[in-house]
Amino acid sequence: MRKGQNPAKFVNQVVKPEKITVALLNYIPFLSGFYKEALEVLKLSLTSMRQDAGLPFDLMVFDNGSCEEVRDFLVAEKEAGKIQYLILSEKNIGKGGAWNMMLAGAPGEIISYTDSDVLFYPNWLSRSVQLLEGFPKVGMVTARPFRTNPDLHTSTRQWANDQAAVEEGSFIPWEKFWEFNRSLGQDEEENRKIYADTRDWKITHHGITAIAGASHWQFTAYRSVLANFLPFDMDKPMGQVKQLDTRMNEAGYLRLMTSDALAMNLSNTTDYVNGPSTHKVEKPKRSLMKKIVGFSLIKKVLLSIYDQIFKWYYA
């Protein structure tokens, strides 16, 4: 028999969630090798995200089977009131599986998704929402302009040609173009050729400017729009997330980027960070050992060994 009455019955109101939920996906299986600095990268991402987003938000973090040290950090952040919703998955269910839970379960009307290795700059969220609310039928907005596959924003360009002012040319400065691509480990000489051979599309609608394109690593979207593309059926933990980019374009949604660089990919290191006020990327000095292991043949052999060791332990 029940003893007394549940105190929750006498609660007259509950706290409503913020209009915007920032949803961060994290996976750090260990703190060595490739992931040696990953926890510091995560901390930097969270700090920069909160500094001056320009709009209030609730933070949801989905941890996809990280190691104990990372889980302890996230729990401490939640207990300190810095994370409003924390999901700790026992195992890695892949990005698609995590998206299915995050994008369907986030309470905000607007969801701003991010990988855990993104550095944010002031007003990154307010500028993203400005584009989301200022353009019609927006699928997703990324807080940084970079050159994406034109085949993935054909619907955006078609709409712009009919309904807005659109210019084709080189609107992303080389420094910003190379800053981002360099963070992905790409070659400068090859990128100079790509930069010369590709172009941007600048779109102006009701006085608001955007660049055509967006990407799955960081985006802001309406929860109701994202629901049209759920669930994601991905049989690999990574490498298939471009499905969202493709499917949104095919459905006729606009895919936009802010005209300024308000987010930056850190990858797995904090080496290139000077702080949000400068946006500069410094080239670190390389030791003799780093120069030796940087040779393409040696690098290829060592990475293949590392990949096999990783598979033995974590596949």
Angle 166-169-171 (CA atoms, 0-180°, nearest 5)? 90
What's the whole-number average pLDDT of the chain? Answer: 88
Inter-residue contact 240 to 166 (CB < 8 Å): no
% of the chain residues with pLDDT over 70 = 82
**Does the structural domain 20-233+240-265 have CATH classification 3.90.550.10?**
yes
pLDDT of 280 > 50? The answer is no
Query: Residue 4 has what pLDDT?
Result: 64
Domain boundaries of the chain, sorted by first residue: 20-233+240-265, 287-315
Look at residue 85 in the predicted model and tell me its pLDDT. Answer: 98
Is the pLDDT score of 276 beyond 70?
A: no
Q: Which of 10-19, 141-150, 218-227, 296-305 has the lowest mean pLDDT?
A: 296-305
pLDDT tens per residue, range 56-80: 999 999 999 999 999 999 999 999 9
Q: Report the length, in residues, of the chain.
A: 315
Q: Is the pLDDT of residue 93 over 50?
A: yes
Report the 10 Å Cβ neighbour count for 125: 24
Residues 299-314 have a mean pLDDT of 69
Which amino acid, 231?
A: P
Helix (H) or strand (E) holding 177: helix 174-183
Q: Is the pLDDT higher at 313 or at 34?
A: 34
Residue 13 has pLDDT above 90, yes or no: no
For position 281, what pLDDT does the model report?
34
Q: CA–CA distance from 66 to each of 24, 32, 35 (Å)?
A: 14, 13, 11
Let me know: does 113 contact 187? Beta carbons within 8 Å: no
pTM of the full structure: 0.84
Q: Model confidence at 235, in pLDDT bands (50, 70, 90)?
A: low
Collect all residues with Cβ–Cβ distance below 8 Å to 185 and sequence separation of at least 6.
267
Please tell me the distance from the alpha carbon of residue 62 to that of residue 70, in angstroms, as a whole number. Answer: 12
What is the rounded CA–CA span in Å between residue 236 and residue 96?
A: 8
Of residues 1 and 167, the one with the higher pLDDT is 167
- Mean pLDDT over residues 17-25, rounded? 97
